[in-house]
Structure 1
Amino acid sequence: MQYNQRTDFRSREYNGRLNMGVDMRQPQPQAGSVHNDGINRQPMPPRAPKKKMGKWSRTLFATLFVVGFSVFLAFFVLESATDLFGLNKEDKQLEIVIPEGINTFQLTGILKQNGIIKQPVTFQLYAWYRSLSMPNKKYRAGTYVVNTNYSYDEIIYKLKSGSTKDETVNITFYEGMTVKEIANLLEKNNVCDADDFLEVIDKGEFNYEFMQMLTKNELRFRRLEGYIFPNTHTFYIGENPTSVAKKFLTDFDKKITDELLERMKNINMTLDETLTLASIIQKECSSVEEMKKVSSVFHNRLASGSSLPKLQSDVTINYVEDNIKPFLKVNNQKMYDAYNTYVCEGLPAGPISNPGIEAIKAALYPENTNYMYFLTDKNGKYYYAQTFAQHQKNLAAAAKAGAGVHGTTTQQ
């Protein structure tokens, strides 16, 4: 009972203090007051609120990031392009071993380890892109001699063609050969695949000024027919077709001098027209001495207006039959007619062969004649005529020499 009383007393005492307004909590120190530990503390100043990054700061940061990334990207692109084309590299031959069944990722490691490439990611991307046009060609096992300044294209082509050594071959290409004949000769000598070469000729990109002078015509069959200059060239066995094409085109670029271009301008002929006419002259004329007279016949017809607007050259029909029709998957009569000078007026849609320098000069410097017709007999004798009646007499005279009259412009 006493315990309960004592408890009640204390409760009453506490409640009484509350009622009297007495605060039982520890007193808080006032500013400048002395604490129980004897230290006189000054009040702490209020903390300044943190400033948020302003719009100007964010813009500056973003700008610096973009600039930095752009510099990095530009450097990467420049390095990749340099590596892609084999530029600024030491000219050194290395021997590498390619195992059976190797894939592009593994090959990249071998090339990078041997210092043949510097940008493995770029090489893998390019190898994937090239595989789209060479889907059935795998890397062939063997020991290869590879030059450190090879382009990616040259590396890939070499390792897929199986050419393990840098063997060379000299090939002579004669005046009047077609691009297809040239491609076949390259393949026969194990330089490159004929179809790969033709694809480069028709679709490849080349940085030559004369490429800007090409006539854009959807009826043109071979883009660079007429521009593969005949000559003797040295190639590597298993050489990249782009490299092969560049040897031809570089030679052509040197042969077409400023003097020849100026002459074209003076007689109002384009480069493409000159080569087209020269290609016909080259196929029609085996004699260099007769080329300028034959050229005069065609020039007279081209200048005659409506009287004889068609060249009527047999060799253009031969080109259609031998070089266009067999290689088109779909019949294209418009293209056939664009090359057949018995049908089309003026020059055909493009060159029909690859002429030599003599035929090109003959196209630019024809002899001054009034001839409108010519033909040859089986012995190679040339007959010229100003009128169709004279031409008929020449036909009879040529026939006496035997069969095989190679007539051109034989119709009125």
Structure 2
Amino acid sequence: MWGQKHVRTVMVILAAVIGYIWYQFLPASVSDEVVFVTVPRGAALSSTARQLMEAGIIRSETALKLYMRLKGLSGSVKPGTHRFYRRLPVAGISAELVRSTQDRSVITVPEGFTIAQIQNRYNRLKEKTGTRFAYLTLNVPVGSVAFIPSDSMEGYLFPDTYPIADSDEMGLIRQMTANFERKVILNYREEIAAAGEKYFHEPDFYEALYKIVTVASLIEREARVPSERPLIASVIYNRLQKGMRLQIDATVSYVPGESTSNKKKTTLRDTKKKTGYNTYRIDGLPAGPICNPGLECIRAAFEPARTDYLYYVAQKDGSHVFTRTFAEHKKEKARSK
């Protein structure tokens, strides 16, 4: 009798284990929602599985890794932007991961991309040449987009993934600015207006937004460690309040429609260039945003940390040391060399 009970118990446990394992291979959702995930070149299967888990596309990292290893596909994941339906089971997810993304009709714009970088990526995907995207976004009739008080859209092209199969440059621009309005203005209008009043004494919402986005673009280009974004924002506002020039290296090399990255090393000669963006030569903010910041940098711009920091020094690992006095700043600068 005891033996039969024991067998039944084992069978129940075994069935539960099998059921649990089987469950991990099922779709994470019954939704038809499409999710785009960009797999970096050279990414390991484990990091890709983690990405998909964080995006809510799979139930279990282990299940995906096990399935792909059993199928001999663990080394076949293709880099690029993949399109997933949330209702796909692990087998479908696996099939998508090993499919080439070369011909995909979507563009992924990372946080911090400039107009020039978006132009280059769009042209590559569409197998085009020319600068129509840059021309359209740098020659905007003032007032044609209600929330952009400038002739440039730099800063307002929201980083995200967009379908471009049936879109020309103007179609992509409309998607990006509409996304900006939806994710930034509609969600954070009050916070942005309050920050504009507090830090710039700016009563006009769209002018306040322009300044906040400009600050966010500086943060995006300076911060490499996410937790430092509000700290860098605090340095910017503290210096502005004291009438100190910002002296941000990322502004030195920025040229609208041309810049694709920060210059690796800023020289004394660079800091003397006369441009409306060079914050070594001008007081206050640069003439406008120097890239298209992501939402977290925009949030940092209207919700900075409360500090009395006035300086920061970049470290070799991309982090920064923040200081309050010029003497401390010089010490940290000497240490970082």
Same fold, judged at TM 0.5 (above):
yes
**Aligned residue pairs, count:** 214
1:304 and 2:232 correspond: no
Which residue in the other structure is 1:256 paired with?
A: 184
Which residue in the other structure is 1:234 paired with?
A: 163
* Match among 257, 274, 278 for residue 340 of structure 1: 278
1:201 deviates by 1.2
Q: Which has the larger radius of gyration?
A: 1
Distance in 2 (CA, whole Å) between partners of 1:168 and 1:204 is 29
Distance in 2 (CA, whole Å) between partners of 1:384 and 1:367 is 12
* Match among 215, 224, 231 for residue 153 of structure 2: 224
Which residue in the other structure is 1:176 paired with?
A: 112
1:177 deviates by 0.7
Amino acid at match of 1:209: A
Which residue in the other structure is 1:128 paired with?
A: none
* Match among 369, 375, 378 for residue 313 of structure 2: 375
Distance in 1 (CA, whole Å) between partners of 2:242 and 2:283 is 11
Aligned in 2, Cα 1:194/1:287: closer, same or farther, shift over 3 Å? Answer: farther
Higher relative contact order (CA 8 A, sep 6+): 2
Which residue in the other structure is 1:388 paired with?
A: 326
Aligned in 2, Cα 1:190/1:335: closer, same or farther, shift over 3 Å? Answer: farther
Secondary structure of 2:276 counterpart: helix
1:315 and 2:244 correspond: no
Aligned in 2, Cα 1:194/1:176: closer, same or farther, shift over 3 Å? Answer: farther
Distance in 1 (CA, whole Å) between partners of 2:181 and 2:127 is 22
Alpha-carbon deviations, 1:11-41, whole Å to 9, x = none? xxxxxxxxxxxxxxxxxxxxxxxxxxxxxxx
Distance in 1 (CA, whole Å) between partners of 2:316 and 2:291 is 22
Secondary structure of 1:226 counterpart: coil
Amino acid at match of 1:178: T
1:335 deviates by 9.5
Q: Which moved more, 1:272-281 or 1:262-271?
A: 262-271
Alpha-carbon deviations, 1:336-368, whole Å to 9, x = none? 421000000010001000000000000111100
- Aligned ranges 1:65-144 → 2 under 5 Å: none
Secondary structure of 1:390 counterpart: helix
1:381 deviates by 2.9
Secondary structure of 1:243 counterpart: helix
Amino acid at match of 1:244: L
Secondary structure of 2:253 counterpart: helix
* Match among 210, 213, 220 for residue 147 of structure 2: 210
**TM-score using structure 1 length:** 0.48
Secondary structure of 1:297 counterpart: helix
1:258 deviates by 3.9
Distance in 1 (CA, whole Å) between partners of 2:273 and 2:320 is 31
Distance in 2 (CA, whole Å) between partners of 1:224 and 1:396 is 39
1:386 deviates by 0.7
Distance in 2 (CA, whole Å) between partners of 1:322 and 1:380 is 26
Which residue in the other structure is 1:361 paired with?
A: 299
Secondary structure of 2:126 counterpart: coil
Which residue in the other structure is 1:195 paired with?
A: 131
Secondary structure of 1:289 counterpart: helix
Q: Once superposed, what is the RMSD of the aligned Cα atoms?
A: 2.7
Distance in 2 (CA, whole Å) between partners of 1:244 and 1:322 is 17
Distance in 1 (CA, whole Å) between partners of 2:159 and 2:256 is 23
Distance in 2 (CA, whole Å) between partners of 1:335 and 1:276 is 20
Amino acid at match of 2:217: S
1:380 deviates by 2.0
Amino acid at match of 2:246: L
Which residue in the other structure is 1:111 paired with?
A: none
Which residue in the other structure is 1:20 paired with?
A: none
Aligned in 2, Cα 1:248/1:335: closer, same or farther, shift over 3 Å? Answer: farther
Give ranges in structure 1 of 5+ residues lacking alignment.
1-166, 217-222, 325-333, 400-412
Answer yes or no: is the 8 Å Cα contact 2:138–2:257 preserved in 1: no
Amino acid at match of 1:279: S
Answer yes or no: is the 8 Å Cα contact 1:204–1:242 preserved in 2: no
Q: Which moved more, 1:260-269 or 1:341-350?
A: 260-269
1:202 deviates by 2.4
Secondary structure of 1:337 counterpart: coil
Distance in 2 (CA, whole Å) between partners of 1:203 and 1:318 is 21
Answer yes or no: is the 8 Å Cα contact 2:154–2:292 preserved in 1: yes
Aligned in 2, Cα 1:235/1:319: closer, same or farther, shift over 3 Å? Answer: same
Which residue in the other structure is 2:171 paired with?
A: 243
Amino acid at match of 2:249: D
